[in-house]
Amino acid sequence: MQNTEELVRQLDELERSLYVFHHLSALVELDANTAAPHDTTVGRSAVMEYLSREQYSAFASEKTGELLRALSERKAELSARDARRVEYLKRDYDHMKAIPQDEYVAYDVLVSEAQNVWVKAKQENDFASFAPYLEKIVASQLRFIEYRDPEHKKKPYEVLLDDYEYGLTEDFLDNFFAEIKKTIVPLVHQITEHGRQPRTYFLHQEAPIEKQRELSDYLMDVLTIDRNHCAITETEHPFTLEFNKDDVRITTHYHLNEVMSSFYSVMHEGGHALYELHTGDDLRFTALASGASSSIHESISRFFENIIGRSRGFCDFILPKMKELFPEQFKDVVPYEFYKAVNIAQPSLIRTEADELTYCLHIMLRYEIEKGLINREIEVKDLPQVWNAKMKEYLGIDVPNDSKGVLQDTHWSGGMFGYFPTYALGNAYGAQMCERMKQDVDVEACCAKGDLKPVVDWLREHVFQYGCLMDPIPLFEQYCGAKFTPSYYCNYLKEKYSEIYAL
């Protein structure tokens, strides 16, 4: 019988090897999205398949099972941190082990192929070419759900939700979306009918890319991001990728005529980066060394993007910098006007370009569709018409083609069913968190001064440092000191938009 110390040493070793797989997979993905030439998928696919197979062999092995069992039995002897590592890994182990290795690897190959097909389908507005892949992905997911939850303890879609927000239920989300819909839809109608749209022409003038890069550097500084541990680069779609807490990468995309696009991408991805950079030192290279969940992560990124970045104070603070970098474009712009312009609310086609108010409607539509797919109430072939009908219903918009409709997002091509709701939930989490933060920090003053250090310090103490030490829902309740309710978010939107549009 091995002693507990030796078992923990084996756990360290296992986690170290999982870290290596994580690092290498992330690196292959980063390279594919940044530096790799166009026609290079063959070599990369061979590598991804190998990594997938090896990771399965290393992790979903009898040896791992025995180690986790042995450690679980000695939970009393373990530190709280180590006990959590075992609990957390056990969950991942059970998930992976439930799926046969060949199916696991084949699925990784499938989604990798599907993403290439999706890119082309989106470019060519050709949903039909993508549909067979999506059908296979949905079929795989349905099979995996059966493997993972053979006794049907959860609803099928909830098995997938667990991957992004452990413990999230359909009922919870149904209520959540019903609640925010009650706030958002009337507000959108009021604005569409009675609101006077602000001038925004200055946001759509040519803004030299070099100057936009300078702006990114400035924003990284304002966000207090340590550039020795966080690089920023350029990709088609912005994202954040973390290797470990000392090595985080964010990306942005510069649009010549949309200076605020990259601005808010940097604020958003910068929020994700801050979270990873400030997870606890003692979690480094363990399974707990990352943000607690997708919703919590989005609550941070959307907080920096919107609640901070689109606040009156921050807009006033940043305008002089905009005038310095883009003197011609911003010369006639006065503070309140800038604030109103970056907060314009207008139903639109593309989720990633949606404003803060209508954003959650885009998510609600996706939530309903993917729930329908997983519950076999919607078929893949019907997706375009279902999509277009919901866009008309929720946003009052006609979708001109599938590229700007059902094909716009990458998530489904990557099999990420259950991720979308975390965007909306993140918005609402962030609003409630901010109210709690205000008890300790003068958030408005921080925005007005562009001094975000007190905000980041609060987040490090109450959120970031915990990594995955706690499940997201209890963690949220701990730092907010209350259960979640969408009312903070609804109130925030109502107050903000009533004021801006003088409703």
For the sheet with 247-252, list strands across it: 230-234, 247-252, 240-244
Using the rule CB under 8 A, which residue among 31, 124, 332, 477 binds a second copy? 31
Q: Should residue 213 be labelled a site residue for a second copy when binding is judged by CB under 8 A? A: no
- Distance of CA 436 to CAs 165, 182, 305, 310, 440, Å? 21, 24, 18, 19, 8
| Angle (nearest 5°) at CA 182 between 177 and 184 | 85
Q: Whose Cβ is closer to a second copy: residue 41's or residue 465's?
A: 41
Pick the binder of a second copy from 8, 11, 30, 121 (CB under 8 A).
Answer: 30
Rg (the chain; Cα; Å): 23
Cβ(57)–Cβ(437) below 8 Å: no
Draw the binding track, 215-234, toward a second copy (x: CB under 8 A; -: no contact).
------------xxxxx-x-
Does 16 help bind a second copy (rule: CB under 8 A)?
yes
The Cα-based distances of 68 to 61, 74, 290, 380 in angstroms read 11, 10, 21, 39
19 binds a second copy (CB under 8 A): yes
* Residue 14 interacts with a second copy (CB under 8 A): yes or no: no
Contact call for residues 380 and 369 (beta carbons, < 8 A): no
Q: Which stretch binds a second copy (CB under 8 A): 176-184, 243-251, 309-317, 385-393?
A: 243-251
Site for a second copy in 293-322 (CB under 8 A): none
Under the criterion CB under 8 A, does residue 119 sit at the interface with a second copy? no
Does position 253 bind a second copy by CB under 8 A? Answer: no
| Catalytic residue (choose from 269, 276, 298, 305) | 269
* Structure-block tokens of residue 334: 């006065």
Distance CA 221, CA 56 (A): 40
Choice from 85, 97, 148, 249 touching a second copy (CB under 8 A): 249
**Minimum distance from CB of 280 to a second copy (Å)?**
16
Kindly tell me which residue out of 3, 6, 9, 50 binds a second copy, with binding defined by CB under 8 A.
Answer: 50
370 is catalytic: no
In whole angstroms, give the CA distance from residue 366 to residue 361: 9
Q: Which of 4, 47, 98, 336 binds a second copy (CB under 8 A)?
A: 47
Residues written for the chain: 503
Per rule CB under 8 A, count of chain residues that contact a second copy: 37
Q: Contacting a second copy (CB under 8 A), which of 42, 76, 80, 502?
A: 42
What's the first-to-final CA gap in the chain, in angstroms?
72
Helix (H) or strand (E) holding 234: strand 230-234
Q: Is 96 in the site for a second copy (CB under 8 A)?
A: no
Q: How far apart are CA 355 and CA 14, in angstroms?
A: 44
Closer CB to a second copy, 29 or 149, in the complex:
29
User: Which residues does the annotation mark as catalytic?
Assistant: 269
In the complex, the residues that contact a second copy under the rule CB under 8 A are 16-17, 19-20, 23-24, 27-28, 30-31, 34-40, 42-44, 46-47, 50-51, 227-231, 233, 243-244, 246-249, 285
